[in-house]
Amino acid sequence: MTAGELTKIVLNKEELFILDVRNQSDFDDWKIEGESVEIINIPYFDLLDSVDQALEQIPSDKRLLVVCAKEGSSKFVAEQLVEAGRTNVSYLEGGMKSWSEHLEPVKIGDLKDGGSLYQFVRIGKGCLSYMVISSSEAAVIDTFRMTDVFERFAREQGATIKHTLDTHLHADHISGGRKLAEQTGATYWLPPKDATEVTFPYEKLEEGRDITVGKTKIKIQPIYSPGHTVGSTSFIVDDEYLLTGDILFIESIGRPDLAGKAEDWVGDLRNTLYNRYKGLAQDLIVLPAHFGKVTELGEGGRVMARLSDLYRDNPGLNIQDEETFRRTVTVNLPPQPNAYQEIRQTNMGKITPNEDEQREMEIGPNRCAVHDK
């Protein structure tokens, strides 16, 4: 089974039983989730002599997927299970590595001039990218490292990528924004306050510098919204969509500690969430750069919600006491994303790991939200 086929199963909420044969610490850290997915963990080295232990725990009437880090040991175990008489068994091609890298494009909606907005769901890692397409031009927001996916998609839509934008200097994944811009001749935009140490040229993403995509000026209006990082910038697209980066998610809010400045930035975060966004049109559709739980995936995998609904339902927007808010976003936060400091260095251009190293750095969940424990 490929990561793409597994994605369809998860999004369609089809039943699947997963036997994850990685070691327990990796499994506890990060695993495949889905509303109709049942999963157990037995390390492959416990199944080398005999798979009896696994057979006892796997229901015989369900479709079975064996999963490991890369592919080898899941294939090995799946073969043993078939030999032992199990049917309807597959292994995940490319393992958790390919699960981490799979992107599923879903259409969010049409734009007023006939263009469209797409969301790219990186389902294994909980990250989201966007593409605004209008009159044969495209802008990509919070691009992933797998830039070929965006290039191919734009080509299929008959569009040329003109702009790549990062809402902030990411700490959980390596940005493909600069690389995609270099490959396509597009302009790369980054908030200047997050770019003080970068080693490459970029355009300053600042309030007041609207970006147009297509002939009819689809407006990408930057809103300075610090808190996750000092430069964090949101966008309003087509007066209808609010792209919040890592500041506001569907069921949580951004964490302010990934650049080591939780105490300094907690005030900014509160101001952005409780004042700045309050002043925007409340019927804007919020499109974040992450989801934390599979329950945030809506129809077809879309991650979106009305701003007014978030002010009603999101616990992070309903902490009235400032001191409680400060404690919530600075104390007892989830563990930081894997290799987050090296990822920041990479995104600044200070270090240049090879592709395998980059892949390794990104393994694991995104952990950019306060409430994802």
Partner 1 sequence: MNTDITVDTKGMACPMPIVKAKKALDSLQTGQVMEVLSTDKGSVKDFQAWVKQTNHELIQHVEEDGVYKFYVRKVYKISGTRKGPLISPRHIR
Number of residues assigned to the chain = 373
Contact indicator for 80, 51 with CB cutoff of 8 Å: yes
End-to-end alpha carbon distance in the chain: 30
Q: Which is nearer to partner 1, 12 or 53 (CB)?
A: 53
Closest separation between CB of residue 19 and partner 1, Å? 14
User: For 179-216, b where at least 16 C-beta lie within 10 A, e where not — what string?
Assistant: ebbeebebbbbbbebbbeebeeebbebeeeeebebbee
CB neighbours of 263 closer than 8 A, spacing ≥ 6?
330
List contacts with partner 1 (CB under 8 A): 23-26, 43-46, 48-50, 52-53, 68-70, 72-73, 76, 360
Q: Which is nearer to partner 1, 76 or 311 (CB)?
A: 76
Q: Write phi, then psi, for 277 (nearest 5 degrees).
A: -70, -30
Hunting for tokens 């140490």 — which residue is that? 197
Catalytic-labelled residue, pool 42, 68, 171, 243:
68
Q: Which is nearer to partner 1, 95 or 176 (CB)?
A: 95
Closest separation between CB of residue 102 and partner 1, Å? 20
Closest separation between CB of residue 291 and partner 1, Å? 27
Q: Which residues pair with 241 in a beta bridge?
A: 237, 285
For 229-277, the DSSP string reads SSS-EEEEETTTEEEEETSB-SS-BB-S-TTS-HHHHHHHHHHIIIIIG
Q: Inter-axis angle of helices 147-156 and 177-184, to 10 degrees?
A: 50
Q: Which is nearer to partner 1, 43 or 288 (CB)?
A: 43
Between β-strands 104-110 and 137-141, what pairing exists: parallel, antiparallel or unpaired?
Answer: unpaired
Q: Which is nearer to partner 1, 86 or 293 (CB)?
A: 86
Closest separation between CB of residue 68 and partner 1, Å? 7
Closest separation between CB of residue 31 and partner 1, Å? 15
How many whole angstroms separate alpha carbon 142 and alpha carbon 65? 31
How many whole angstroms separate alpha carbon 93 and alpha carbon 306? 37
Contact indicator for 122, 103 with CB cutoff of 8 Å: yes
Closest separation between CB of residue 330 and partner 1, Å? 30
Tokens describing residue 305: 């919600």
Q: Is 68 a catalytic residue?
A: yes
Identity of residue 102:
H
Closest separation between CB of residue 303 and partner 1, Å? 31
Q: Which is nearer to partner 1, 76 or 274 (CB)?
A: 76
How many whole angstroms separate alpha carbon 265 and alpha carbon 285? 25
Q: Which is nearer to partner 1, 53 or 199 (CB)?
A: 53
Residues designated catalytic: 68
